[in-house]
Amino acid sequence: MRLLIIEDEQKIAETIAQKFKGEGFAVDIANNGMDGEELIRINSYDAVILDILLPKQDGWETCKNLRQSKILIPILMLTALEDISDKIKGLNEGADDYLAKPFHLEELVARIRSLIRRNSVVRSSKIELFGIILDLNLQKAFREGKEIILTAKEFALLELFMHNPDKILDREFISEHLWDMNFDPRSNVIESFIKFLRKKIDKDFSKPLIHTVRGAGYIFSETGR
Ligand code: CA
């Protein structure tokens, strides 16, 4: 999952980013509306946290521009203004949800997860495939009934595979969805995470599910290729 935070108060942006990184998200930050809109147009994010009072272009304008361009990415608007008319205005400009400052980080995470789920084809909070169950609410993974302890990043990688079974996922696709814009394409961090994940989900089972397709990427499948 990749998240964009558009927020000009650096401390708040950093606090939110830290929290979501701990939950396994890749997170980018933009500190004004124009940069934020630009990033959304070039990267693929699963959701956006958008402050209302921003330099260059405020949250309402940013939201309106995106919706006018038919960019339907889930947007949660964040603001210090507790006025109900602001909430209505935000929702009218096409925001999907709204949270007033101060808020609890846990609530923000829960709302973002729910927005992403609402937007996804898989609406359920559980994904089941090839004997693996992912509980997205509890962030727990099971294979053949046995719980598999994963880090947040490993969980996000497995979730990405489970949303794209029997399809070759190349490094670019994986990094685009799970890492932020500081990702170094020459690093072997993806290979390392695949190795960790394999150890956990494939090692003790008869049928491996994560297969390497030489020169192309990885495929999550019962049969390999
Ligand atoms: Ca602000």
Find the 72 Cα to ligand 1 centroid distance in Å: 23
CA of 180 to the centre of ligand 1 (A): 22
* Boundary of a domain, candidates 104, 119, 134: 119
- pLDDT score, position 224: 66
Residues 6+ positions from 125 with CB-CB distance below 8 Å = 117, 135, 136, 137
Q: What is the largest CA-CA distance in the chain?
A: 58
The answer to whether 180 and 28 are in contact (CB under 8 A) is: yes
* ∠ CA 78-79-83, rounded to 5°: 125
Sheet containing strand 75-79, strands side by side? 26-30, 2-6, 47-51, 75-79, 97-100
User: Which pTM value belongs to this model?
Assistant: 0.70
Structural domain boundaries, residue 188: 126-220
For the chain of 225 residues, list the mean pLDDT of each consecutive stretch of 10: 94 95 92 94 90 92 91 88 71 84 92 84 73 86 92 91 92 86 82 93 90 93 79
Q: What pLDDT is stored for residue 121 in this prediction? A: 56
Q: How far is the CA of 15 from the centre of ligand 1 (A)?
A: 14
- Residues 8 and 86 grouped into a single domain: yes
CA of 11 to the centre of ligand 1 (A): 11
Whether 42 and 111 share a structural domain? yes
86 CA to centre of ligand 1 in angstroms: 14
Q: How many domains does the chain have?
A: 2
Q: What pLDDT, on the 0 to 100 scale, is given for residue 82?
A: 66
